[in-house]
Amino acid sequence: MTFKIGLLGYGTVGTGTAEIILDPLGRNKLLQKIEIAKVGVRSLDKPRSPELPAGVLTTDLEAIVNDPEIEIVVELLGGLEPSRSLILTAIANGKHIVTANKAVIARHGAEIYNAANDAGVYVLLEAAVGGGIPVIKPLKQSLGVNRIQTVIGIINGTTNYILTQMTEEGADFDEVLAEAQKLGYAEADPSADVDGYDAADKIAILAAIAFGGRIKRDDIPCEGIRQINATDISYADDLGFVIKLLAIAKANSDKDSLQVRVHPTLVPKDHPLANVNGVYNAILVEGDPLGRVMLFGPGAGKGATASAVVSDIATIVGILQTNSTSQKLDPLLSCSHDHFSELTPITEVETRFYARFLCQDVSGVIGHLGMSFGKHNVSLESVVQIGFQDELAEIVVVTHNVQEGNFRQALEEIKNLDAIDSIPSIIRVL
């Protein structure tokens, strides 16, 4: 007995998926039960590798999600539409879904999972976060028995590559971005990556699973890496930090609300995430009583992403093979919550800050900084005069944990001090 699947899309991940399924020797034996029945593409004219039997390729995507013989639809189109509509039609037709599409789940997850629960089908998405790293299923099946405290991820390979190159070469952002675009690590329009939107989609998904409540994607404060420069990377290094784009989801101590945010962050060099370099991704999960677990691996790329896609297909086939009649979903693999988590506004989040000031009169300024920060309950861990730029002295401040709103108010006041020329950099500290 074989199980028929239909692929929507036959680009990098689609062909990678077919390469695994069509060459099952030496892999899990279950793969031999999977038959690629239909593959939907935009045009039949392009040469395709691996080649598929005649009649498998089609431009009629609707026909795939309506094909009564297909039990699993694998959505690899990316983007919001037509992915969302095709997924919903497939679900309505009782088909299980495997997808690598973080955007459609982050934006339309509530609608999709409600439909899936009604229809009694699974929507699995291991490939949507962390490429080939097993993270979604471990969060659902293993780590979820803990009270999760934090999920912190380096989950965008492009920005991690850029920051790693900037750190190793002392180069500035634009230069490294151009190089990354030449190497194919960054898109011609790099916004989704470098402005943090991709990481925000992914942390929305991880937070929903880890904390058992849906996340309003638009409520996630998101700051990218365009403003990071060689100067701050070098000062951070002196202070014992590296700069990483982190996606953070954290239970507030009251336990009733979450903070979810994406921003560049100074990470202490002895932190496990500090050594995650290049296009690698890693997700750190802290829970009670587990402690700290980190999952590390290739966050993107054909083979890694296809590995995750096929693992989801195999998971569903394994279930179908043992349990073809039950309409009930395994609560460890399906979405069993339908409320939205309350997210803390960024102004109420507590974090440490690094800030760099350019100023004229160092001794006077330090006193004024101390006073302004003190007035707004911002206590300082260190104040260092660290260099000069042109005629101006550079002062770097690292705060203790402070409420972001208080810190911003203090900065407003400090900006207006006569001796302050400018505040070129403000970066959060882990």
Asked if 331 and 385 count as a contact pair (C-beta separation under 8 A), the reply is: no
Measure the CA–CA gap between 285 and 249, rounded to whole angstroms: 10
Out of 259, 315, 399, 409, point to the residue binding a copy of itself (CB under 8 A).
Answer: 315
Check the CA dihedral 179-184-188-189 and report its sign: negative
Q: Which is nearer to a copy of itself, 135 or 411 (CB)?
A: 135
DSSP string, 272-335: GGGG--TTEEEEEEEEETTEEEEEEEE-SSHHHHHHHHHHHHHHHHHHHHH-SS--PPPTTTS-
Q: Which stretch binds a copy of itself (CB under 8 A): 40-48, 84-92, 171-179, 283-291?
A: 283-291
Looking at the chain, how many residues does it have?
Answer: 430
> From the CB of 57, what's the least distance to a copy of itself, in Å?
22
List the one residue out of 8, 100, 135 whose CA is nearest residue 61.
8
Asked if 128 and 136 count as a contact pair (C-beta separation under 8 A), the reply is: yes
- Interaction pattern, residues 354-393, with a copy of itself; x per rule: CB under 8 A: ----------------------------------------
List residues forming the annotated binding site for NADPH.
102
Measure the CA–CA gap between 16 and 127, rounded to whole angstroms: 12
Q: Which is nearer to a copy of itself, 19 or 413 (CB)?
A: 19
Verify binding: residue 311, a copy of itself, rule CB under 8 A. Answer: yes
Active site residue 202: yes
Helix, strand, coil proportions of the chain in percent (round to 5)? 40, 25, 35
Please, what's the b/e burial string for 274-303 (b: 16 or more CB within 10 A of its CB; e: otherwise)?
bebbebbbbbbbbbeeeeebebbbbbbbbe
Check the CA dihedral 197-356-277-249 and report its sign: negative
- Interaction pattern, residues 186-225, with a copy of itself; x per rule: CB under 8 A: --------------------------x-------------
Out of 4, 12, 31, 66, point to the residue binding a copy of itself (CB under 8 A).
Answer: 31
Q: Which residues pair with 261 in a beta bridge?
A: 248
> From the CB of 110, what's the least distance to a copy of itself, in Å?
18
> From the CB of 69, what's the least distance to a copy of itself, in Å?
22
Measure the CA–CA gap between 331 and 397, rounded to whole angstroms: 48
Verify binding: residue 47, a copy of itself, rule CB under 8 A. Answer: no
Q: Which is nearer to a copy of itself, 95 or 108 (CB)?
A: 95
Verify binding: residue 28, a copy of itself, rule CB under 8 A. Answer: yes
Verify binding: residue 306, a copy of itself, rule CB under 8 A. Answer: yes
> From the CB of 291, what's the least distance to a copy of itself, in Å?
4
Which of 38, 202, 244, 250 is an active site residue? 202
The footprint of a copy of itself (CB under 8 A) covers 16, 19-20, 26-31, 126, 132-134, 137-138, 141-147, 212, 255, 272, 275, 287-298, 301-304, 306-308, 310-311, 314-315, 318-319, 321-323, 326, 328-333, 336
Which positions are annotated as active-site residues? 202
